[in-house]
Amino acid sequence: MKMLVCISKTPDTTAKIAFTNNNSTFDTNGVTFIMNPTDEWYALVRAIEIKEQTGTGSVTVINVGPKENESIVIQKALAIGADNAVRIDAVPDDAHFVAAQIAAHAETENYDIIFTGKETIDYNGSAIGGMVAELLNLPYISLANSLQLINATTASATREIEGGIEEVEVAVPFVISAQKGMAEQRIPNMRGIMAARTKPVKVLPPKDFSPYTSIVSYELPPARTQVKLIDPEHPEELIRLLHEQAKVI
């Protein structure tokens, strides 16, 4: 299987979120960036597992972003076990732009499976997989929590649906977005870190594409009022407040 894994750079989960330029720009000062967790823990690791199980094929990671992303996310992906990497040298304007860049690379490479994480933890769009699938005219399995190869041309997966789990079968090539259950997180070891330094990273110029959306401004949510504590001996008071004050029951 020739596999492509889309990886994104996101602020660390614990990062303090602040904005500058009259709330039009995310303030990256002091923010630690990481590989997006669902891309890393589930999509990338499952692709590597499939390669290990079949004993053939390759895992390429792709990132749309500036050179600094090579040290922040690409090297880690290679250390975990990807074979090579592609970086599209561009600022990732919006999801449409990013998907167009990935699809432009993928359409010449004939990947069997293209993986994404279920969403990034910064813009929470859940959009790249579907967009890439449409641009390449491929089937798309979203929110998948397992993926197994049946044979060289067919795979089965389970995906989350409202109130249930669906088991599906699909022929390669296809696009899949991975979530919890797909694989277990892997920590890169020293051997992997050393090997990553010799693995190839191809840098490509971006395809010309005008974004479909732009962020006008950011806002922080209003601070919650201080918690109102209720006497544990009288939980019925909570029910009264939820009914009369909060009006949620």
In the window 136-165, what residues touch another protein (CB under 8 A)? Answer: 137-143, 145, 156, 159-165
- Separation between Cα atoms, residue 210 and residue 230, nearest integer Å: 54
Paired tokens of 95: 């999801």
Q: Which of residues 97-126 bind another protein (CB under 8 A)?
A: 99, 121-126
CB of 69 to another protein, least distance (A): 19
Q: Return the residue of 66, 181, 188, 206 that touches another protein, per CB under 8 A.
A: 181
Q: Residue 191: CB partners within 8 Å, gap ≥ 6?
A: none
Please report how many Cα atoms fall inside a 13 Å half-sphere around the Cα of residue 87, on the Cβ side. 20
Is 187 one of the binding residues for another protein (CB under 8 A)? Answer: no
Q: Return the residue of 133, 147, 178, 196 that touches another protein, per CB under 8 A.
A: 133
Is 75 one of the binding residues for another protein (CB under 8 A)? Answer: no
Is 236 one of the binding residues for another protein (CB under 8 A)? Answer: yes
Query: Which among 70, 119, 77, 82 has a CA at the least distance from the CA of 98?
Result: 119
Is 30 one of the binding residues for another protein (CB under 8 A)? Answer: no
Q: Return the residue of 32, 67, 152, 243 that touches another protein, per CB under 8 A.
A: 243
Residue type, 233: E
CB of 226 to another protein, least distance (A): 9
Chain mean position to CA 185? 14
Q: Is 19 in contact with 218 (CB distance < 8 Å)?
A: yes
Is 221 one of the binding residues for another protein (CB under 8 A)? Answer: yes
